[in-house]
Structure 1
Amino acid sequence: CPLHGRVGCTTPDRSSVAELLNGLTGSYERVGGADGPGGAAAELLHGLTAALACLIREAFAHVTDAGAHTVERLLRGVVRWADAVNATGRLPYGQLRLAAQYAQVAGRLRMERGQSGVAMAWFGHGLRWADAAQDAEARATLLSDMSTLVRLDGDAASMLGYAQAIGAVDAKRRWMTTLADLYQARAYALSHDADACRRHIAMARRRFARLDDRDRLEAPWLSGAEGVLRLESAIGGALRDLAAATGERAVARRAIEATARSYALLPPVMRSTRLLLTLRLADSWACAGDPVAAVTLAHPVVEEAVHARELMITVELRGLHDRLAGRWGDLPEVREYRERVRGASE
């Protein structure tokens, strides 16, 4: 909760939340000025927090235009509310914290659609609001998303800059320095610096093993099986990128091992992540010099991957396709795979 932290606030009932949110996204008169609709500021903040959790779960399972529209509509209402509070001479602390979180989700949804400019704009706004509210956690995660976005554009230098900035938010928070190492590893892989990539992977593993209760409270998604899943996925991605850049098959085999560990921990609801990791695993086999294994893994998901709307899946599919076609285009299994991709694209 942006007002009360992690004490377990009571969420208003669903009908009350709907009424509050409708008031928030209406005209200024309906918003009710600085105190929110009907003066129910705390209840509205609680409702917005609960709504965001639901929207994140929905986006996690399936990216939709309706979900993205809802996030941005509510975000604009929160910003308008923050402006009303600010006009009274008070710091809109709770509103700014929520705005930063909503901006992050809005940016991610735009990023998944390949709308890099709009995504970066939302991330930039979110970073500004997080700074105004002195929200270090939001700052670190927004910088993580900005690092991912420039990686998808192939900008290794900018990715490294954002990755280093994550660690500079608070060097005493191990979850932040762990993230910084993981993102730096991927940045160095893109710039073909094998030694630096390996060094940051090793540091990320050490720091991850030393996460404490505060880290797990602030970044619960780095706890337990989900945390291992995210760690191994990031390491697998960095090693695959490095193998693709250097041609080292031993590195590709390490990418296979890390990605397979991550894949084994996926819950059924994470369908998009399962598809992404399947393609990455196939690409790692291609980097390891086994195109038949790569094609065998990719075959069952070709149609789904071709029609996926998520940019990261499209990037993974493109990398796999280019690698197979460039090195083993005359292999019968690869020719058949390319025909399937072509057929699914028509």
Structure 2
Amino acid sequence: MVEPVSAQLAVIGTLLAEARGPIRTSVVDIGSQWAQFAGWLNANAGRLSDANHWYGIALEWATEANDHDMIGTALNMKGHLAWMSGKTSQMISLSEAASRRGASRGVRSLARQQAARGYAITGDYEETERRLDQAEVLAWAAADHPEDEPDWIYFFDPHFLQMQRGLAYSILGRHTAAIDLLLTGLAAVPGDIRRSEWVGWYVSRLATAHAREGDPESACRVSAEAVEIARATDAGRLLADLRRLHSRLAGQWLDLPAVIELGERLR
């Protein structure tokens, strides 16, 4: 997907070299969406420098087009990159900036929940809960007015937020609550996207929560589903994450049949 998207962006760049007036505004508006998509594709492939470049272009073009939804989204995605890079302070700061902009409720909810995860990483229970509660209010308001939301957050709803709350709770060590939230959120994912790569990542987080709760059988059972998703979507990063989880399981329960079987699945 990266190559055709890059080709489309090259065409947009050529058009912008000559575009003026209202036509230019329309081109940069559309271009910002393509640039954000290019950023996501590169981030998903582990090319974080390229992803940061395209998120920066998306932010620049969205600012020129006065598209507050994309401005907030680009800032939030740069915060996501900071999380991927282990830069928690930057992750929180960019997420907070995204949530302060004049974007839609859904975009601001996504930013608040990401900030909550950052606070969870720092061990700040109070700020984690505060941002999650704020995100939930915004998420339900967005669900009541879907016509106000940009197309590119089609995946976001209150059930997605449940999974994010579960992730934050797992980071804080509240594994039982995390498992319940992740199970509930995943059960609400529509069947046509249940096998998507990004859903597989939450399945792997559920498996990790089971492992941290001391339930290796459940961890292996859930991991098996994530392995199937990773194989079907050619998700190398997801497979690598599952192999790391298996290594931790094998370190504690080396002779457990479920752990042995999971290792065979991951070969």
SS in 2 for 1:321: helix
What displacement does 1:131 show?
Answer: 1.0
What displacement does 1:128 show?
Answer: 0.8
What CA deviation, in whole Å up to 9, does each residue of 1:58-90 have, x standing for no partner?
xxxxxxxxx22111111111121012114xx77
What displacement does 1:93 show?
Answer: 0.4
What displacement does 1:300 show?
Answer: 4.3
Q: Which of 59, 69, 73 is the matching residue for 2:7?
A: 73
**Correspondence 1:241 to 2:171:** yes
Instruction: Write the letter of the residue equivalent to 2:61.
Output: W
CA–CA distance in structure 1, aligned partners of residues 186 and 108 of structure 2:
24
CA–CA distance in structure 1, aligned partners of residues 248 and 231 of structure 2:
16
Instruction: Write the letter of the residue equivalent to 1:231.
Output: L
**CA 1:325–1:186 in structure 2 vs 1: closer, same or farther (change >3 Å)?**
farther
CA–CA distance in structure 2, aligned partners of residues 219 and 164 of structure 1:
20
Instruction: Write the letter of the residue equivalent to 2:126.
Output: D
CA–CA distance in structure 1, aligned partners of residues 69 and 88 of structure 2:
24
Instruction: Write the letter of the residue equivalent to 2:136.
Output: R
CA RMSD in angstroms comes to 2.8
**Correspondence 1:126 to 2:37:** no
In the other structure, the counterpart of 1:186 is 117
Instruction: Write the letter of the residue equivalent to 2:49.
Output: G
What displacement does 1:214 show?
Answer: 5.7
What CA deviation, in whole Å up to 9, does each residue of 1:78-133 have, x standing for no partner?
121012114xx777101111111000111111111111111111101111111111
CA–CA distance in structure 1, aligned partners of residues 3 and 183 of structure 2:
35
What displacement does 1:231 show?
Answer: 1.5
Quick check: which has more Rg, 1 or 2? 1
| Residues 69, 102 of structure 2: 8 Å contact kept | no
**Correspondence 1:115 to 2:47:** yes
**Correspondence 1:282 to 2:214:** no
Q: Which TM-score applies when normalising by structure 2? A: 0.86
Aligned length: 265
**CA 1:226–1:193 in structure 2 vs 1: closer, same or farther (change >3 Å)?**
closer
In the other structure, the counterpart of 1:141 is 73
CA–CA distance in structure 1, aligned partners of residues 5 and 179 of structure 2:
36
Instruction: Write the letter of the residue equivalent to 2:141.
Output: R
**CA 1:195–1:287 in structure 2 vs 1: closer, same or farther (change >3 Å)?**
farther
Unpaired stretches in structure 2, ≥5 consecutive residues: none
**Correspondence 1:266 to 2:189:** yes
Deviates more, 1:136-145 or 1:204-213: 204-213
Unpaired stretches in structure 1, ≥5 consecutive residues: 1-66, 244-250
Instruction: Write the letter of the residue equivalent to 2:118.
Output: A
Instruction: Write the letter of the residue equivalent to 1:155.
Output: K
**Correspondence 1:203 to 2:134:** yes
Q: Which of 101, 104, 107 is the matching residue for 2:33?
A: 101
What pairs up with 1:53-72 in 2 under 5 angstroms?
A: 67-72=1-6
What CA deviation, in whole Å up to 9, does each residue of 1:257-280 have, x standing for no partner?
221122112223322234223212
**CA 1:219–1:287 in structure 2 vs 1: closer, same or farther (change >3 Å)?**
farther
**CA 1:214–1:266 in structure 2 vs 1: closer, same or farther (change >3 Å)?**
closer
Instruction: Write the letter of the residue equivalent to 1:281.
Output: L
CA–CA distance in structure 1, aligned partners of residues 181 and 81 of structure 2:
22
**Correspondence 1:175 to 2:109:** no
CA–CA distance in structure 1, aligned partners of residues 247 and 119 of structure 2:
22
| Residues 29, 67 of structure 2: 8 Å contact kept | yes
In percent, how many aligned pairs have the same letter?
28
What CA deviation, in whole Å up to 9, does each residue of 1:203-253 have, x standing for no partner?
222332334766642246778x9512322222222222222xxxxxxx112
| Residues 79, 95 of structure 1: 8 Å contact kept | no
In the other structure, the counterpart of 1:20 is none
